[in-house]
């Protein structure tokens, strides 16, 4: 399992632009989901989530952070070495492949980009990438890794971009750091706001059903105990509230940090079997949600 690619994007104390009126109008996840086959769920095509008001633009991350959350500036220099590189490379390959298989090259934004490992890979694959993170230390590493990638200092709850700016907005291993339910919802809705109609929103985060996360999260420097593993249903509700329709919802990945490099081929085969096996795949390491923005402002 892997927690790479990102710094947290939570706003201090969970503060952000409140959209409580939208919550009342949001269709339930149950109305959006028809069934759950082995590979994931299918989603009713006719769902049309409500409109949302544009989020606040041109706001940058303040310099004061919630002391209960990770200050990623203090771990930035060691962040890329917090897990074995062969495990990190495996997850990097899976994430880049998933995006290539579902989203054509275009303008994309990595929300909570961290040191920019995935952003750099996607840039190499032909995507026009913008990286967003509230921690300057993480952005420093992104700039060093790929000077040509735009690096923006901002919180995910206040993305400083116009509506309908990107073909894809994605975050990987971010939401459990955001933690606060309102902040999670606002971040998901902001990601949807800056996505073009017909564009995609991708959320790839820790699966609360996996029993190993509480163990691993006590060992890595980027986790402090303030994190919260976000239920899939909560993320789906945020997407629907923001005006997006989920099209892929599936459990993904399983390889733990202690997998020996010499056994990776065997571990990858076992991972693939678990991913395809109903019920057993509920224990996968990550939940992956891909949605399409359906509303036209």
pLDDT tens column, 195-237: 999 999 999 999 999 888 677 665 555 655 557 889 999 999 9
Task: Confirm if 131 and 150 have CB atoms less than 8 A apart.
Answer: yes
Q: Render pLDDT for 30-48 as a digit per residue (tens, 0 to 9).
A: 444 433 434 443 333 323 3
* CB-based burial label for 129 (10 Å; 0-12, 13-18, 19+): buried
* Residue 180: predicted pLDDT: 87
Instruction: Please tell me whether residue 232 adopts helix, strand or coil conformation.
Output: helix
Q: How would you classify the pairing of strands 286-293 and 195-206?
A: antiparallel
Helical segments of 131-207, H only: 136-145, 175-178, 181-193
Tell me the HSE value of 253 on the side-chain side, using a 13 A CA sphere. Answer: 30
Q: For residue 221, give every residue at least 6 positions away whose Cβ sits within 8 Å of its Cβ, in sequence order, or none.
A: 75, 78, 79, 82
Q: For residue 24, give every residue at least 6 positions away whose Cβ sits within 8 Å of its Cβ, in sequence order, or none.
A: none
Domains in the chain, start-ordered, CATH in brackets? 12-293 (3.40.50.150)
What average pLDDT does range 252-280 have in this prediction? Answer: 95
Note the Cα 106 to chain centre separation in Å: 18
Banded model confidence at residue 84, pLDDT cuts 50, 70, 90:
confident
Q: Render pLDDT for 127-170 as a digit per residue (tens, 0 to 9).
A: 999 999 999 998 999 999 999 999 999 999 999 999 999 999 99
Residue with more model confidence, 22 or 149: 149
Q: For residue 116, give every residue at least 6 positions away whose Cβ sits within 8 Å of its Cβ, in sequence order, or none.
A: 110, 131, 138, 139, 141, 142, 145, 146, 149, 151
C-alpha span between 83 and 258 (Å, rounded) = 9
Q: What is the mean pLDDT of the chain?
A: 79
């Amino acid at each position: 399992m892997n927690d790479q690619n990102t710094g947290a994007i939570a706003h201090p104390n969970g503060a952000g632009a409140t959209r409580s009126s939208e919550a009342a109008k949001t269709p339930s996840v149950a109305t959006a989901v028809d069934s759950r086959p082995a590979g994931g769920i299918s989603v009713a095509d006719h769902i049309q989530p409500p409109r949302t008001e544009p989020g606040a633009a041109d706001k940058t991350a303040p310099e004061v952070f919630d002391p209960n959350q990770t200050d990623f500036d203090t771990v930035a220099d060691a962040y890329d070495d917090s897990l074995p590189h062969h495990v990190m490379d495996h997850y990097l390959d899976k994430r880049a492949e998933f995006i290539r298989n579902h989203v054509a090259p275009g303008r994309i934004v990595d929300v909570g980009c961290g040191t920019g490992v995935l952003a750099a890979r996607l840039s190499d694959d032909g995507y026009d990438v913008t990286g967003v993170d509230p921690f300057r230390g993480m952005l420093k590493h992104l700039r060093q890794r790929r000077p040509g990638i735009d690096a923006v200092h901002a919180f995910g709850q206040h993305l400083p971009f116009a509506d309908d700016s990107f073909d894809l907005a994605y975050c990987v291993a971010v939401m459990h750091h955001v933690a606060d339910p309102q902040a999670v919802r606002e971040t998901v809705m902001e990601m949807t706001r800056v996505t073009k109609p017909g564009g995609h929103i991708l959320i790839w985060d820790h699966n609360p059903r996996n029993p190993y996360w509480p163990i691993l999260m006590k060992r890595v420097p980027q986790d402090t105990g303030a994190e919260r593993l976000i239920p899939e249903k909560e993320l789906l509700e945020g997407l629907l509230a923001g005006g997006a329709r989920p099209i892929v919802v599936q459990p993904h990945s399983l390889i733990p940090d202690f997998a020996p490099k010499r056994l990776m081929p065997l571990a990858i085969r076992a991972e693939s079997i678990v991913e395809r096996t109903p019920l057993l795949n509920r224990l996968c390491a990550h939940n992956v949600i891909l949605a399409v923005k359906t509303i036209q402002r």
